[in-house]
Structure 1
Amino acid sequence: MTDPPEVAVVRWPGQAPPLPDGLGDLLASYHLQTQAEKGEAVAGVDGLPDRYRVEITDPRTAFADDVVLLALSGDTAVGCLVVTASVAGRSEVKRLWTAPAFRGRGIASKLIRAALAHAAESGVSAVRLSVWKWREDAIALYERLGFTVTESWDEREQLVCMERAV
């Protein structure tokens, strides 16, 4: 048996190719799974709300002011996370996703740690995120990495808001 290839975390734009192959596929999987978990399953990307379709089809525009962190196995994107531009000294982490075939290898933890490092380099004082309450494994991961539940800034029901000082 051979060891799985090493997974590297890179920034886009910046260290990664101009538009990495697979980013749209990761975002599509993330949004389709989320819609299904919310009880609003759709047959494909065309059934997603416009704001999500734009992320998938044109991430350059959707994340123009943000940094996308990608976990790459060779040239293949196997995980992603978006760090928003700072607002009032805070950035937000969103769209954390690891391709199912690559789960259990610490990729999500690597992406979050890279997001925290990027935030620190950018002079951000805190990083926040929101997560659906049924994503208990994700909440546990965030707690292990120092995030704590905080007052909600989002009106959507069943959303847990968390924050961590950088």
Structure 2
Amino acid sequence: MKNDVIYRNATEEDLDQIVAMLWDDKLGRTRERYEQPLPSTYIEAFKAIEADPNNELVVASAGHKIIGVQQITFTPYITHQGSWRATIEGVRTSASHRGKGLGSGLIQYAIQRAKNRGCHLIQLTTDKQRDDALRFYERLGFKATHEGLKMKL
């Protein structure tokens, strides 16, 4: 399957499939709105990501079907001697492609993009309710070195 998958920047035409994948998840159903037409907030967010050279919305596609997605944000930091880091967010694979190496491929793609951009560190968070995701990221070499905090506004 890995040879049939193409990793590329998302297009606006991919949004319907991306939002459907984000919604098709226990936690996603509590925070996403998958309806037709898509809420304008998704289109506005996509356009902002697309216009920002430090943001990439990446999809994994097999033919015309979007089977994975992630967002990579590149951020300059004053710490670590003014270096850059990459943050991975919103990683999802379609239910029909889980356990086939697609998630690993997405993360490896993000790691390579971070290296290409000269980042010294790549980071991500996962919801504490996602035990399988935590184990998955640890298998790929990520370490839980920090405690993350969030505040909903």
Q: TM-score interval w.r.t. the shorter chain?
A: 0.7 to 0.9
Q: Deviations over 1:63-117 (max 9, x none)?
A: 2321122111112111011111223211100110011112121101000000000
2:57 is aligned to: 68
Does the 8 Å contact 1:20/1:77 carry over to 2? no
- The aligned counterpart of 2:129 is 134
Measure, in 2, the Cα distance between the counterparts of 1:71 and 1:134: 25
Aligned to 1:111: 106
Separation (CA, whole Å) in 2 of partners of 1:103 and 1:67 = 22
Q: Larger % of helix: which? A: 2
TM-score by length of 1: 0.70
Q: TM-score, normalized by length of structure 2?
A: 0.75
Render the CA deviation track for 1:45-80: whole Å, top value 9, x for unaligned.
47xxx8xx63x3345324232112211111211101
Structure 1 stretches of 5 or more lacking a match? 14-18, 158-166
Q: Which of the residues 81, 86, 89 maps onto 2:70?
A: 81
Change (3 A) 1:10 1:35: closer
1:47-66 to 2 correspondences below 5 Å:
54=41, 56-64=42-50, 65=52, 66=55
Native 8 Å contact 1:6 1:73 kept in 2: no
The 5 Å alignment of 1:146-157 reads 146-156=141-151
Between the aligned partners of 1:140 and 1:5, the Cα distance in structure 2 is 21
Instruction: Classify 1:32/1:75 alpha carbon distance in 2 versus 1 (closer, same or farther; 3 Å).
Output: closer
- Report the AA paired with residue 11 of structure 1: R
Between 114-123 and 81-90, the greater mean CA deviation after superposition:
81-90
Residue aligning to 1:12: 9
C-alpha root-mean-square deviation of aligned residues, in Å?
2.8
Sequence identity percentage = 23
